[in-house]
Amino acid sequence: MEMEKDPHDQTGSYVHAGEAFDRDMNYIPDRITSDGSSPWPVEAGRYRLAVSRACPWANRTIISRRLLGLEDAISMAIAGPTHDKRSWTFDLDPGGKDPVLGIERLQQAYFARYPDYPRGITVPAMVDVPTGGVVTNDFNRITLDFATQWTDFHREGAPDLYPEGQRGEIDELNHWVLHHVNNGVYKTGFAGSQETYEKAYTDLWESLDALEDRLSRSRYLMGPAITEADVRLFPTLVRFDPVYHSHFKANRQPLASMPNLWNYTKDLFQTPGFGDTVDFQHIKEHYYVVQTDLNPTQIVPLGPDTSIFLEPHDRDRFDTDTWGPGGTAPLPPKADEVVDPAHTPLHPTGR
C-alpha cells in the first residue's frame, strides 16, 4: 500500500541513514459511496480490487471482502509477491496480464487516471474497470466503505464489522494500532540509526504488551465478536514471527511466546476468511527479496514451521459471538482465489 519511503513501494530504498522511518500517508482520497456523495457510485461488477497477498495492508481488504461476501460484487486482481522499481506486476496471470484490466503492471491503472502520478504505486487499490483508472488507494478507508457503503451486496449472514455503537472506540483503537503496531514494525525495521531503532523497538513492544493485556479479557479486541479492529491487527500478527521478528529486528521474543496474542492469532488464522487469505511464501518472498536494504543476498528463509498456526488455542474460554447477531461464517474462497496449497498449513501439503 505504501508510498515513496514505503517498504511496499517501487523505489527499492527503504532505509535512510540517520533518519526515523516516515510513512507517506497521502493517498488518493476518492471514495466509492452509495449515497451519491462522490462521483464513484457503488455498482456491482464495476470495480476491481488490486492486491498482493504479500502486503499486510492489502491483506486486510481481502479479509474484509471475504467476510462480507463481496466477491461477486467486487472482483480481485492479484499481483505477484515481488516487484521492480516501476510497480507491482500481474506475473501470476497467464501471459503476465490481469485478465480483466488487461494490464501487466498496476502502474498502468494509476497512469490511466493520472499520467504524471508522482507517488508510489501501491496496493490495495480500487480500479474502475470501464476506464481502467485507479479510483482510490486509501487503505484506511477502503475496508470501512466495504462495511458501510456496500451493504446492498453483503452476503446473507455477513457480520457487522463496524457496528455503529462501537465506531468511536474502534476508530480510536485502529488509529493507535496503525501508528504503534501496524506501522510500528516498519519504524523498527527501517530505522536509520541505533537511536531511532531503539525508540521504535521500545514503543512497538510496549504496544504489543498492551494488546497482550487487552486480550486477556475478551476473545476479540472489541469483545465477543469480530470487528474491523481484528481485521486490521491480524495481518501484522500473522507476519510477525515469519518476517518481523528477524527481518525487522523486532526480536525481543517471538509472538508464539505471548499467550494471549499468540492464541488470538491462531484463533483468527483458523477462522474462515482470515487464515485462508494468507500466503506465507508470498509474504516471505516479498520482504526478503524486495527489501535488499535489509537482505542484500535476497535469500528467503525456509522457516518457521507454520503448522503451529493450526495448533489448539484457548480463546473459547471467553464469551463468544464470533459473527455477531444473525451472522454466519463466510463461504469457502472462490476456486480461482484459493491460496496455493503449498504455501499454507491449512492444506496438508503446506509447510
Q: Cα–Cα distances in Å, from 216 out to 69, 157, 233?
A: 30, 28, 16
Q: In terms of residues, how long is the chain? A: 351
pLDDT score of 6: 45
d(CA 124, CA 121): 10
Q: Which superfamily, per CATH, for 32-153?
A: Glutaredoxin (3.40.30.10)
Same fold, 32-153 and 164-343: no
> 99-138: string of b/e by CB count within 10 Å (b at 16+)?
eebebbbbbbbbbbbeeeeebbbbbbbbbbbeebebbbbb
User: Which sign does the torsion angle of CA 346, 182, 169, 318 carry?
Assistant: positive
Q: Could you check whether the bond before residue 124 is cis, i.e. omega within 30 degrees of 0? A: yes
Q: Strand, coil or helix: what is 205?
A: helix
pTM attached to this predicted model: 0.95
pLDDT score of 12: 53
pLDDT score of 10: 44
pLDDT score of 3: 32
Q: Could you list the active site residues?
A: 55, 186
Residue in the block written with cell 459473527: 323
pLDDT score of 5: 41
Residue in the block written with cell 479510483: 135
Residue in the block written with cell 497477498: 53
Residue 66, Cβ neighbours under 10 Å: how many?
24
Instruction: Please state the domain extents for the chain.
Output: 32-153, 164-343
pLDDT tens track for 232-281: 999 999 999 999 999 999 999 999 999 999 999 999 999 999 999 999 99
Contact 23, 5 (CB under 8 A): yes
Ordered per-residue pLDDT tens for the chain, 351 residues: 333 344 444 445 688 888 888 888 899 999 999 999 999 999 999 999 999 999 999 999 999 999 999 999 999 999 999 988 889 999 999 999 999 999 999 999 999 999 999 999 999 999 999 999 999 999 999 999 999 999 999 999 999 999 999 999 999 999 999 999 999 999 999 999 999 999 999 999 999 999 999 999 999 999 999 999 999 999 999 999 999 999 999 999 999 999 999 999 999 999 999 999 999 999 999 999 999 999 999 999 999 999 999 999 999 999 999 999 999 999 999 999 999 999 999 975 433
**CATH top-level class for 164-343?**
mainly alpha
pLDDT score of 22: 84
